[in-house]
Structure 1
Amino acid sequence: MNDSSWGASPRAGHWGAAEDTVTATAGSATESRSRGKTRPMPPSPPASQPTPPQPAPAKKSAGRNLRAAIGVGLGLGVIVLAALFLVKAVFVGVVVVAVAVGLWELTSRLAERKAVHAPLIPLVAGGTAMVVSGYTAGADGAWIAMALTALAVLVWRMAQPPHDYLKDVTAGVFAAFYVPFLATFVVMMLAADDGPRRVLVFLLLTVISDTGAYAVGWRFGRTKLAPRISPGKTREGLLGAITFAMVAGALLMEFFIDGGHWWQGLLLGLAAAVSATLGDLGESMIKRDLDIKDMGTLLPGHGGIMDRLDSLLPTAPVVWLLLVAFVGQG
């Protein structure tokens, strides 16, 4: 800032100009009376009006339809819990449906926004095989089904012209890994003797992590976590996610998982919160590249199925691995 700006007094200059105006006006009136004419004085400036009350600052918006989001979330929770604790095979079917819809959303957005045509039919067939193989044959079965799905994508795309072949099959293999293969770790948890409890721990940790991040970030969030990827996420929200998930993990491992200990739950909650956040950021990166807000509109208040699976999918292998390390295959 220069010296003139520090030394200038706008208020003094304003009042000095007013005094000059009054003096000039008085002189003009005297001159007019000396000529026998009286020139009317200029009207007095209106009295200052009271400053209208300023509107109260708008409350911070949550950014989505909370009523619809809560209603849909509760409905999905009832369906998942009923399938999980009634018949394991029914829950496997729920996972297969979620995978199929997620693949449809992902391949549709790729085609619309990037003109990338990943073949949906072999992806859905291979994804179903992956989920079923993961439940019945474990990790070995899931890997074999993944390899056969990638091969099916390569062969299926050969029926079309070679233009953009490499781009289409690369997207297809990515979709196969991102959606059905990661989902197989959920049914691999389910295959254990206490499988429903393990899956419930996985779901609760992911949801609680997301809830902690949302609540703390909405109330206290100031410092952006990754502004170029997801401007709404904050470091304070990440700390909230970690705190909530670690507390929940300690309680769940101590009182809900046979053979589990609270300190294992702290590590499990920390890992789940980090992987859920990375998964959320990963899908945000995809959506930014595609220039879209949501992957779909199937779930009011949430977006599409993929907008709900974004943090679940990468968290599934992390929770599965740590549970196996802590309490065994089951």
Structure 2
Amino acid sequence: MSAQTPTQTKSGTTSKAGRNLPAAIGVGLVLGAVLIVGLFFLPWLLVVFAALAAAVGTWEVVQGINHKRDMGIPMIPAVGVALVMPFFAYVGGGQWLIFAVVASMILLMFWRLTGPKDGMIMSVMGSIFAVSWVPFMIALALLLFREPHGAGAIFLILVMAIGNDTWGYIAGVLWGKHPMAPRISPKKTWEGFAGSMFGSMAVGLIASLVMPTVPWWFGILLAVVLVITATTGDLAESMVKREIGIKDMSNILPGHGGVMDRLDSIVFCLAIGSVMFTLFNGIL
């Protein structure tokens, strides 16, 4: 995203957002409003929103892989697991999340054992990949959300993830010349990456002045880690989409494409950011 021109997607073609900008802005505002209300006023709204995002994102991943690669990933249990895993994390914490992960793997393998023998290994591995990518990473963020200052921490992670794309986009458009991974995402450049890094570090420093629970050094450290994480997540989804030969995960969000087209880097940032806050909890 950091290397895109204003009217091009990562693959270099005209973006849906560019063709339907009012719809894209409207959807973005609605999603942002739901996040803010859920984070700071109605916690269960956020949990339900996260569970739905996990379920739809998993559906997109599974249907994309099955349609293009015919891996036979069982849709019903995969989406069901994605829907309940965030609830387990929020209600029961880490122990319940571990139980949910183990139970999910057993369910997916048992479900596949009742099907055809051919392709069984690839089907199980694909199921584990889909569940690990979307619902598990979102569930990790809900573990952080349970903590006393969890809402502010999640908000900071989201701001940094979105800011990473914004600063990278600006730097990529103005100065982008050297592609990072031309075979995966031709429009992403090292100049855009540098813009993301400096912009996110500035956001982290400002956040440390606004949030008394975040020291200045942690704000900068978090920014560095999340820029690397967001870039990795962005490239990972681009790699998956190129592998299965699709441009967008779905058309469910007007002007945006699919849920995973918006969550590509965010889910990685939520997971790694939550781990960072947990690791440094004793000294923050």
How high is the TM-score relative to the length of structure 1? 0.78
Q: How far does the alpha carbon of each residue in 1:233-260 deviate from its partner, in whole angstroms, 9 at most, with x for none?
A: 000010111111111111113312x332
Partner residue of 2:140?
185
Partner residue of 2:269?
315
Asked if the contact 1:260–1:327 (Cα under 8 Å) also holds between the matched residues in 2, the reply is no
> What is the distance in 1 between the residues matched to 2:116 and 2:279?
48
Partner residue of 1:305?
259
> What is the distance in 2 between the residues matched to 1:234 and 1:214?
10
**Structure 1 residue 171 corresponds to structure 2 residue 126:** yes
The amino acid across from 1:222 in the alignment is K
SS of corresponding position for 1:110: helix
Asked if the contact 1:298–1:304 (Cα under 8 Å) also holds between the matched residues in 2, the reply is yes
Partner residue of 1:205?
160
Offset at 1:194? 1.8
Asked if the contact 1:62–1:218 (Cα under 8 Å) also holds between the matched residues in 2, the reply is no
The amino acid across from 1:214 in the alignment is Y
How high is the TM-score relative to the length of structure 2? 0.90
Q: How far does the alpha carbon of each residue in 1:142-185 deviate from its partner, in whole angstroms, 9 at most, with x for none?
A: 22211110110111112222111111111001111111111111
Offset at 1:232? 0.9
| Equivalent of 1:147 in 102, 127, 133 | 102
Offset at 1:328? 4.3
Partner residue of 1:326?
280
* Aligned pairs for 1:153-302 within 5 A: 153-256=108-211, 258-302=212-256
> What is the distance in 2 between the residues matched to 1:130 and 1:310?
19
Structure 2 spans left out of the alignment, 5+ residues: 9-14
SS of corresponding position for 1:310: helix
The amino acid across from 2:39 in the alignment is L
SS of corresponding position for 1:232: strand
The size of the alignment, in residue pairs, is: 270
Asked if the contact 1:254–1:265 (Cα under 8 Å) also holds between the matched residues in 2, the reply is no
> What is the distance in 2 between the residues matched to 1:241 and 1:123?
34
Structure 1 spans left out of the alignment, 5+ residues: 1-59
Larger Rg: 1
> What is the distance in 1 between the residues matched to 2:215 and 2:168?
25
Q: Bigger shift: 151-160 or 232-241?
A: 151-160
- Of structures 1 and 2, the one with the larger relative CO (CA 8 A, separation 6+) is 2
Asked if the contact 1:260–1:326 (Cα under 8 Å) also holds between the matched residues in 2, the reply is no
> What is the distance in 2 between the residues matched to 1:106 and 1:233?
23
Offset at 1:69? 3.1
